[in-house]
Chains A and B, each alone.
Chain A
């Protein structure tokens, strides 16, 4: 009966469908509808503004710590490789040094760009390696695992010939081992797609380079 009554009432008004809508509006009320709209807008705007911010790692996150520390770690690999690239007379060493310097300098810029995207400073408030569990004692005189000491860098700058090649390859092998250790550390801690992607490529390519370095050291020592 109600169903049949409604069209009757609406017919003189404005037609069946339109006539039933005012009745529904009355039940909810314009205030409630407007409130729901405003609420929806607020939620939408807030989600749009805060969503990306809440999803990105924070200032003290393992990801931020890794990107900052690995940037510094990589920078020393670039430094050593540029020395070898400039001073070595062995074409395979010059080639490897150029490869490592360019790759790692490029990766530094990936890492720095992500920090910038996340509105984080390139410099953290925490000590080096603090993002990694059980890392206490792994930093000696500000140097992260695998990094060459200032004395080793001085010696590398002075070295020439076969001596330079062996020094560079030995330091780079040690540097890669430390870098792989850190990259594996963040792979255990992070689910960030960018960070884990880059860390995984570091592990794979640096492990490959260690094998190459071992071969090269044997060849150079035998020569």
Chain B
């Protein structure tokens, strides 16, 4: 009973190796197969060597027959590989994270990676606060946020409120006070009517335009810069530190925060 094992293994191996050689005798396939089975059966008990070889011949023959299905399978595999390749490409492109999209914007500054406690702070504090960047991109802020329902503020707004809006996922578009009207109008068209967006002028801004999301900033010279739309698409809502937080019910006035008398919590 130990013989069948070794008998089978080499025979199947040979089939694979010799399948190419099996092509020429493909002609007498039917007869070879029929006869092959019978002698194989007859000699089974007698000689193992010949038996091992003879069944090979019919297999070679059938291997020749299978070229059609193999070709079909090959084509199917090629098509599948194509679909898989495209699918992987498309899904990779489609599922690029917003962080990667943001990182791909030339000139963007990612303050989140700096681990600056003054920018990462998220506590609520009353009254005027100081920020390490202008305009600010994060840090402690007033309890009330600035309304960011596509609001167009024509006067500077309080950083203390605006930072809270960034925490809620808003993109804050700021421009140098006194920027040309056509540039301001272009920016306005990207903001008005859109929630999680707001816009205001900033006195003494070092560039014409600066965009802020929580922990991110991009400064550009022109309202026609294509990076503005990329910044908004990548970071609006995605940069929220409190998913689901609203932009409505916020402060709608402009001007600096009044010094709180008793700045209690």
Q: Which residues of A contact B (CB under 8 A)?
A: 1-2, 5-6, 8-14, 18-19, 22-23, 25-32, 35-36, 39, 42-43, 46, 49-50, 53-54, 58-59, 71-72, 75-76, 78-79, 82, 105, 109, 112, 119-125, 128, 139, 141-144, 147, 150, 157
Q: Which residues of the partner chain B approach A13 to less than 8 Å between Cβ atoms?
A: 3-4, 7-8, 44
Contact with A along B56-100 (1 / 0, CB 8 A): 101100110010001001001100110110011011001100100
Task: State whether A6 touches B152 (Cβ < 8 A).
Answer: no
A sample of 10 more A-B contacts (CB under 8 A), given A23-B55, A59-B94, A75-B195, is A1-B38, A9-B37, A12-B44, A39-B80, A46-B84, A53-B90, A79-B248, A82-B248, A112-B237, A150-B192
Taking Cβ atoms with an 8 Å cutoff, the residues of B that contact A are 1, 3-4, 7-8, 11-13, 15-16, 19, 34, 37-38, 40-42, 44-45, 51, 55-56, 58-59, 62-63, 66, 70, 73, 76-77, 80-81, 83-84, 87-88, 90-91, 94-95, 98, 101, 147, 149-152, 189, 191-196, 229, 232-234, 236-238, 243-244, 246-249, 252
Let me know if B15 and A29 touch, CB within 8 A: yes
A/B interface sample: 20 pairs, CB < 8 A: A1-B38, A6-B37, A9-B37, A13-B4, A14-B1, A22-B8, A22-B11, A29-B16, A30-B15, A39-B80, A43-B80, A72-B193, A79-B149, A121-B233, A122-B237, A123-B233, A128-B193, A141-B192, A142-B194, A150-B192
**Interchain CB contact under 8 A, B246 and A105:** yes
Interface of chain A: mostly helix, strand, loop or mixed:
helix
Of chain B, the residue at the smallest CB distance from A157 is B252
- Shortest Cβ distance from residue A97 to the other chain B in the assembled complex, whole angstroms: 12
| B233 CB, min distance to chain A CBs, angstroms | 5
CB distance from B230 to the nearest CB of A (A): 10
Interchain CA distance A80-B232 in the complex, whole Å: 25
> B249 to A82, Cβ gap below 8 A?
yes
Q: How far is the CA of A78 from the CA of B12 in the complex (A)?
A: 73
Smallest beta-carbon distance A42→chain B, Å: 6
Nearest neighbor of A141 in chain B, beta-carbon distance: B192
Q: A14-B4, A123-B233 are in contact. Are A22 and B12 (CB under 8 A)?
A: yes
